[in-house]
Amino acid sequence: MTRVHSVTDTPIGELTLVAENGALSAIYFPGHKRLPDTSAFGARTEAGFSEAKRQLAEYFAGERTVFTLPLAPRGDAFQLKVWELLQTIPYGQTRTYGQLARQLGDPHLAQAVGNANGRNPLSIVVPCHRVIGADGSLVGYAGGLERKRFLLELEEPPEARAARLF
């Protein structure tokens, strides 16, 4: 297994992109909760990251709503299932932990969904920021709630943004 990393500037700070064998395996913010030892990132290189950086730049420019990158997240079977489900949440929409638990077939899994969501290694690309509390509040984001708010506002449909002004 060959693991390498690169860093890219974004409107929410530098992101460290980690790849294993050519597939994106992690994205970390500065101050990321549960940040692994950076020695696990592998050597720093620019090779192999141009497509991920391009797609992230398009996302932050409001030009991309879906990522089409090869992904290789590491997690247990339940986490992988939750992370797959996160990728079905459309751009500009949110879901609650309870809604995701019901989609998985058991409304009692909301806390387990929250735990898996909090361990998502591919922030932004696997949109864990689109998951909110049952009361609509912004809760738990490894990059911090200010970044979560920024991402949700970035994705907010223009008509919803306009309605907020009045």
Catalytic residue flag (residue 32): no
Q: Which residues contact 148 (CB under 8 A, 6 or more apart)?
A: 129, 138, 141
CB 106 within 8 A of CB 69: no
Scanning 11-144, the segments in alpha helix (DSSP H) are 50-60, 77-86, 97-103, 110-118
CA gap 131, 153 in Å, rounded: 14
Q: Which of 27, 71, 85, 128 is catalytic?
A: 128
Which residues have a catalytic role annotated? 128
